[in-house]
Homo-oligomer: A and B are copies of this chain.
Amino acid sequence: MENFINVAPYFVLAAAIIGLFFAGYKFFWVKGKPEGTEQMANIASKIRKGAMAYLKRQYKTVAIFFACMLVILAVMAGLGLLTWFVPFAFLSGGFFSGLSGFIGMKIATYANSRTANGAREGLNKGLKIAFSSGTVMGLTVVGLGLLDISVWYIILRAMLGNDANAIMGAMLTFGMGASSMALFARVGGGIFTKAADVGADLVGKVEAGIPEDDPRNPAVIADNVGDNVGDVAGMGADLYESYVGSIISAGALAAAAGLGFGGIVVPMLIAAIGIISSIIGTFFVSTKEGATQKNLLASLRRGTYISSILAAVASGILIYAILPEHTGVFWAVISGLLAGVLIGFFTEYYTSDSYNPTRKLSGSSETGSATIIIDGLALGMNSTAIPVIIVAISVLISYFVSGGAGSFALGLYGVGISAVGMLSTLGITLATDAYGPVADNAGGIAEMAGLEETVRERTDALDSLGNTTAATGKGFAIGSAALTALALIVSYTDKVTGLGGTLDLGLTQPAVLIGLFVGAMLPFLFSAYTMQAVGRAAQKVVVEVRRQFKDVPGLMEGKADADYETCVDICTRSSLREMILPAALGIIAPIVVGLVLGVNGVVGMLAGALVSGFVIAVMMANSGGAWDNAKKYIEAGNFGGKGSENHKAAVVGDTVGDPFKDTAGPSVNILIKLLTMVSIVFAGLVVKFNLVDFLTNLVK
């Protein structure tokens, strides 16, 4: 067994490479499909160029930040506060997180026109292309994640030998790079997409009365670019970070629990198994022509269920082989998987118009926009209870089945493993999630290129299905964020103890309590920043679109082309400027809190941010999702249908929900983890100096 544990990292590396190869194969398969008419290719090229231009400038901006952080980390390493691995690990985490987003967006912007063209031939053809592009994204994220992890692990084991704690301590730090990159990508992309969307809708749909995706709207390309940079590139970087974070934090907890390298490789191997299972699962996703929405969903679910069952069975065998004395850990994997599925189901329950809550919300439009807003906020708040209870039960189960009653550290390892279990089949769950924006874009292209009605109907069927799978995806993203952050907080305390710091985490300690207060407030402040940023950026788009409608002769009659590039440029510039402040909050807050309140205050802050951030993220996602679908439910002919006063009220709800569900909500998940990562990296500094300890010693 010892031998297997030693070679295991190479298996993990092999699985990562297989995943990447499969992604590469799918990439070229999609790229080899015809793009359709010249006009379609033309529109797609505009979207692709806009998206790439944004991403390039985003990377430039972020590069400045990474350079500054590198200098700081290098100085700290020079002062002996960090090891020299940290700056490099930080860089690699950021690089791969960014690369995941880049590749995901590359394929998405190739796949959109091809999906539209496929949909001209039939639904199954469209689904195949869109889902394949999702697969590229999903397997790129997990492949790059495991590549980074296994290579670092192999290097560190070669250099640091058998000191499991030192190895995992060093590995934790590349999570900070991944989290920083993810936060920039999510916030920047989120601001871009919503500024373009709100701007295009407010002037185009509401003021000028032209339909969505109408080529006369100068912001229409920016809107489609936004889907790619926000929902694709942002999500890719985000889930890369969750995935990597869960695996390394579980590894760190294994080291702390004294499980040795066997315990450390288990989460990596579970992830490796998940990659192979995901690849197998993708072969089961296809449908017949004339398939209903139900068939489509069943086909996607078949893929994920097969992957999950394969991964669960293989993980069980693995745990029985490597950790024969801790087989209960297997049930932690199962509890994580189930928790993800259940949170996903309840996300769907609260936000889909197939269920009561969203239907009732549509009805609130009858007394105007104020009541639909109040009820939507209440719906979101209400919907936080069940996910919290699911996470609570899952943590309790994972803790106890892994032996928490006997050993605290073992129980926490179980909690870490349950997060890995939840994310193990990310390859395929992300594929079912990421294909949504591609279908959405394909619909836009079909509209702009004036394709026949049936094409749009087919892309709409794919898109609407995407909303359901996205709900499940959100359940996994949010549930795993909670469990991973929890595991990371424990890793932080281990790190502090390792650095010779002393912890007194009693909840009635003033530093802990104050940290808790500050932490609970941070997600609110962060959300305020991002929401205000969307408002300011959208304002600029509104002004520009109004200007073009007024100044460009023949635009409204369809005789002249709109100046799409300017809108894309405005969105790019404002979203890059606006992403700085919220991201800075995530990096500066833990350092300041640490220097003032000390390590106990930091743990308080992390716990406060975790719990309040989790609740507010669920609330925002579900309020936003429900408003969106309540509007669609009215558009489907209920409560007065499209164009009625009720519909107008529902549009207000949907607009309020946009920055909730696509900017602030998903970014809060990353914020929670970034706070922890930064705290871990700066632990050495805080242990050496902080105001509260200083004052306490002074008074004594």
- Stretch touching chain B among A25-33, A381-389, A562-570: A381-389
Whether B611 and A516, one on each chain, are in contact in the complex, defined by CB atoms closer than 8 angstroms, is yes
Cβ-based interface call for A391 (8 A): yes
Chain A positions 233-279 with a Cβ under 8 Å from a chain B Cβ: none
- CB contact between A395 and one of B382, B510, B652 (< 8 Å): that residue: B510
| Cβ-defined contact, A517 with B656, below 8 A | no
Query: Is there an interface contact between B517 and A507, defined as CB atoms closer than 8 Å?
Result: no
A529 to chain B, nearest CB (A): 8
Which one of B375, B396, B525 contacts A510 once the chains associate, using CB atoms below 8 Å?
Answer: B396
Given contacts A519-B611, A520-B615, contact A531 B655 (CB under 8 A): no
A61 at the interface (CB under 8 A from B): no
Interface centre among A374, A395, A518 (most CB of B within 10 A): A374
Bound Cα distance A509, B408 (Å): 8
> Is A72 interfacial (CB 8 A cutoff)?
no
A385 and B490 in contact (CB under 8 A), knowing A507-B507, A655-B370?
A: no
| A389 in complex: contacting residue of B371, B408, B518, B612, CB < 8 Å | B518
A364 at interface, CB cutoff 8 A? yes
Known A-B contacts A379-B528, A535-B374, A652-B373; A614 and B517 likewise in contact (beta carbons under 8 Å): yes
Q: Is the interface of A mostly helix, strand, loop or mixed?
A: helix
Which residue, A202, A520, A651, has most C-beta atoms of chain B within 10 A?
A520
Contact: A381 with B520, CB < 8 Å? Answer: no
Q: Across the two chains, which residue of chain B brings its CB closest to A508?
A: B490
A695: chain B residues within 8 A (beta carbon): 400, 405
A interface residue count range (under 10 / 10 to 19 / 20 to 34 / 35 or more): 35 or more
Counted per complex, copies of this chain come to 2
Q: Does A285 belong to the interface (CB within 8 Å)?
A: no
- Chain B residue, CB-CB nearest to A509: B408
The answer to whether B382 touches A528 (Cβ under 8 A) is yes
Partner of A381, one of B370, B489, B518, B524: B524
User: For the complex, is A406 an interface residue (Cβ under 8 Å from B)?
Assistant: yes
Complex Cα distance, B390 from A518, in Å, reads 10
Contact A615 B535 (CB under 8 A): no
A392 contacts chain B at the CB level, 8 A cutoff: yes
Binds B, one of A92-100, A304-312, A602-610, A678-686: A602-610
Return the CB mask of A401-412 against B: 1 if under 8 Å, else 0: 000111010011
Q: How far is the CB of A699 from chain B (nearest CB, A)?
A: 4
Q: Is the CB of B411 within 8 A of A510?
A: yes
Task: List A318-338 residues whose CB lies under 8 Å from chain B.
Answer: none
Q: Which residues of B contact A404 (CB under 8 A)?
A: 510
Enumerate chain B residues within 8 angstroms of A368, measured Cβ to Cβ.
202, 206, 652
Contacts of A375 in B (CB 8 A): 531-532, 535
Most chain B CB within 10 A, of A368, A378, A525, A538, is at A378
**In this assembly, does A295 line the interface, its C-beta being within 8 Å of a C-beta of chain B?**
no
> Which chain B residue shows the least CB distance to A388?
B521
Cβ of A539 under 8 Å from chain B: yes
The one of B514, B534, B612, B696 that contacts A520, using a Cβ cutoff of 8 Å:
B612
**A484 touches B (CB below 8 Å):** no
Please tell me if the beta carbons of B528 and A378 are within 8 angstroms of each other in the complex: yes
Map CB proximity to B onto A507-551 as digits: 1 under 8 Å, 0 otherwise: 111101110111111001101110110110011001000000000
Q: How far is the CA of A615 from the CA of B619 in the complex (A)?
A: 15
Collect the chain B residues with CB atoms within 8 Å of residue A486's CB: 513
> Which of B396, B527, B619, B692 interacts with A378 by CB under 8 Å?
B527
Nearest CB on B from A187, distance (A): 14
- Chain B residues with CB below 8 A from A206, complex form: 368
CB distance from A566 to the nearest CB of B (A): 20
The minimal Cβ–Cβ distance linking A159 to chain B, given in whole angstroms, is 30
Chain B residue nearest in CB terms to A401: B699
A-B contact pairs, 9 of them (CB 8 A): A371-B655, A374-B656, A378-B532, A382-B524, A388-B520, A406-B699, A408-B509, A507-B607, A524-B619
Q: Which 5 A-B pairs have the closest CB atoms?
A: A370-B655, A405-B699, A381-B528, A520-B611, A382-B528
Interface residues of A (CB under 8 A from B): 202, 206, 364, 367-371, 373-375, 377-382, 384-385, 388-389, 391-392, 395-396, 399-400, 404-406, 408, 411-412, 415, 482, 486, 489-490, 493, 505-510, 512-514, 516-521, 524-525, 527-529, 531-532, 534-535, 538-539, 542, 603-604, 607-608, 611-612, 614-615, 619, 651-652, 655-656, 659, 692, 695-696, 698-700
Please give 8 more A-B residue pairs, beta carbons under 8 A apart, in addition to A382-B528, A507-B604.
A368-B652, A369-B369, A373-B373, A377-B528, A381-B531, A382-B525, A385-B521, A505-B507
